[in-house]
Amino acid sequence: MIRKEFLHPLVDERLSAFHMKTALLFTVEQFPEDIWRDDNLVQCVIYCLNTLKRFLKTGYCPHSSIDSVNLFAGKPNVNVVNIVKHKVTDMINSGLSCLLTLNMDYVGKRLEFNRHKIPGLEIQFETIRKMMTGLLNSHIFADVGN
């Protein structure tokens, strides 16, 4: 969702879903198993974005199973890298408040609605966790039916 709604409009296919999945896989390998919980979803996404940001800074996105393959080879140029780094940094620094503007699956509207029901102005992690778990489950069951 983050790639499609926030990064793709800026850089088209020069940052692919495979780049994002690779950042996820490397992040999963770096952090202990016990952090990957529903109630820690937002922090885990921030960890993944930090991994992507590190790849962008070094200009090297390693392949998860083939040593010495740079997935950035021939893809993003310096301008694209800078655009994505800036956007990813903004998302991280905002604590993923950008999720409030997600249109896909009405995520933003659902988060905004739930935010008004809970005291405080910041996004509540429990609300995001419940919503994302529901989305994940609906997609899993939709895929099973196909």
Three-state secondary structure string covering the chain:
CHHHHHHHHHHHHHCCHHHHHHHHHHHHHHCCHHHCCHHHHHHHHHHHHHHHHHHHHHCCCECCCCCCCECCCCCCCHHHHHHHHHHHHHHHHCCCHHHHHCCHHHHHHHHHHHHHHCCCCCCCHHHHHHHHHHHHHHHHHHHHHC
Q: What is the pTM of this model?
A: 0.74
What is the per-residue pLDDT across 76-132, written as a single tens digit (0 to 9) for each?
788 888 999 999 999 999 988 888 888 888 877 777 765 555 444 455 556 666 667
- For the chain, list the domains and their CATH numbers: 2-145 (1.10.1410)
> 21-61, pLDDT tens digit by residue?
999 999 999 999 999 988 888 899 999 999 999 999 999 99
